[in-house]
Structure 1
Amino acid sequence: PLAVAKLMKAVVDKEQPGLVIVGKQAIDDDSNQTGQMLAALLGWSQGTFANKLNLADGSAEVKREVDGGLENIKIKLPAVITTDLRLNEPRYASLPNIMKAKKKPIETLAPDKLGVDVAPRLKTLKVEEPPKRKSGIKVKTVAELVDKLKNEAGVI
């Protein structure tokens, strides 16, 4: 996620948008970090888990999903917004617009041209299964449990 956020920051620095909207999660690790990291790298406001967004007067009003329901916040632009699946109804492109899009040039940017190093910083040394758990025992009384915890396990 950090390498992606650094790449996105380089593109934002190049393009100078006033608002960046990203998804809230990635399908590879489901970590929900990239939008927040991008906002931190840029020093911008952030609105996370947005399901409604209104822009006006240099600010954004974001209705966001939280554990207890919905929360309304107002943040200054420029900002990074991470979306909830209910933010927008998808629109499907018409065939003429698809054909027009095919003719438009697409700029390809390599990470090194943006000044971003994406070389992995972690090396996996080994992956192995955890050891098998020993089977437990049943005790008949609380006194027996306390005795085993004290004398055999040594935890009390």
Structure 2
Amino acid sequence: LALGADRALWVSSSEELQPLAVAKLLRAVVLREAPTLVICGKQAIDDDANQTGQMLAALLNWGQATNAAEIQLGEGRVDVVRETDGGTETLRLLLPAVITTDLRLNEPRYATLPNIMKARKKPIETLTPEELEVTVTPRLKTLRVQEPPQRPAGIKVDSVAALLARLKNEAKVI
């Protein structure tokens, strides 16, 4: 709000929200607010899933582009540049669309104190999943988390000849 938004919606839930539940909540908000472009982050910091934007696009049956490094809006379309291993790729999507971002999309901006004070007066509408008619019950359950077994320590050899001898005689891989 301190960076320029006029209002905010906050969906509050006491449940642990998994990516599909977040996508369903966002879908309900999109149907209510009727935007033509939804921009999501790339990954959540809690589960590192990188799924919500893609799931939202599927639920809405909208086009999608992931990992956007540049966005250029046009008449009824959006051009998205994304980085690939071999350079960049430019996609053109018809609106409405969902875009997930890469960290290179924007330069961080910092709110000024006067704008922070103004933001305190801007409306924040609080909604619940029940009000949006979305069930957020977790569909996945973590049964166990454990560390992998300790690997044995490596062996140092003095020369290439010693390495080849170990690979041939002990490991029997040559």
Using the size of structure 2 for normalisation, the TM-score is 0.72
1:50 aligns with 2:68: yes
- How do residues 3-82 of structure 1 correspond to structure 2 at under 5 angstroms? 3-82=21-100
Separation of aligned partners in 2, 1:7 and 1:21: 15
RCO higher in structure (CA 8 A, sep ≥6): 2
Separation of aligned partners in 1, 2:106 and 2:150: 47
Deviation readout 1:104-131 (Å, 9 max, x if unpaired): 1210010111011111223444555667
Q: 1:110 aligns with which of 128, 149, 160?
A: 128
Partner of 1:95: 113
Fraction of identical pairs, as percent: 66
Larger Rg: 1
Separation of aligned partners in 1, 2:151 and 2:79: 51
Separation of aligned partners in 2, 1:63 and 1:128: 39
How far 1:77 moved relative to its partner?
A: 0.5
Closer, same or farther: CA 55–126 of 1 in aligned 2, 3 Å: closer
Partner of 2:8: none
Closer, same or farther: CA 124–48 of 1 in aligned 2, 3 Å: closer
**CA-atom RMSD, angstroms?**
2.5
**Alignment-mate amino acid for residue 5 of structure 1:** A
Separation of aligned partners in 1, 2:149 and 2:103: 40
Closer, same or farther: CA 13–130 of 1 in aligned 2, 3 Å: same
**Alignment-mate amino acid for residue 105 of structure 2:** L
Closer, same or farther: CA 35–132 of 1 in aligned 2, 3 Å: same
Unaligned runs of 5+ in 2: 1-18, 153-166
Matched residue SS, 2:139: coil
1:119 aligns with 2:137: yes
Closer, same or farther: CA 42–126 of 1 in aligned 2, 3 Å: same
Closer, same or farther: CA 132–115 of 1 in aligned 2, 3 Å: same
Matched residue SS, 2:58: helix
- How do residues 144-155 of structure 1 correspond to structure 2 at under 5 angstroms? none
Separation of aligned partners in 2, 1:25 and 1:126: 23
Matched residue SS, 1:6: helix
Name the structure where helix makes up a greater proportion of residues.
Answer: 1
Separation of aligned partners in 2, 1:54 and 1:133: 49
Using the size of structure 1 for normalisation, the TM-score is 0.80
Closer, same or farther: CA 130–97 of 1 in aligned 2, 3 Å: closer
Closer, same or farther: CA 72–90 of 1 in aligned 2, 3 Å: same
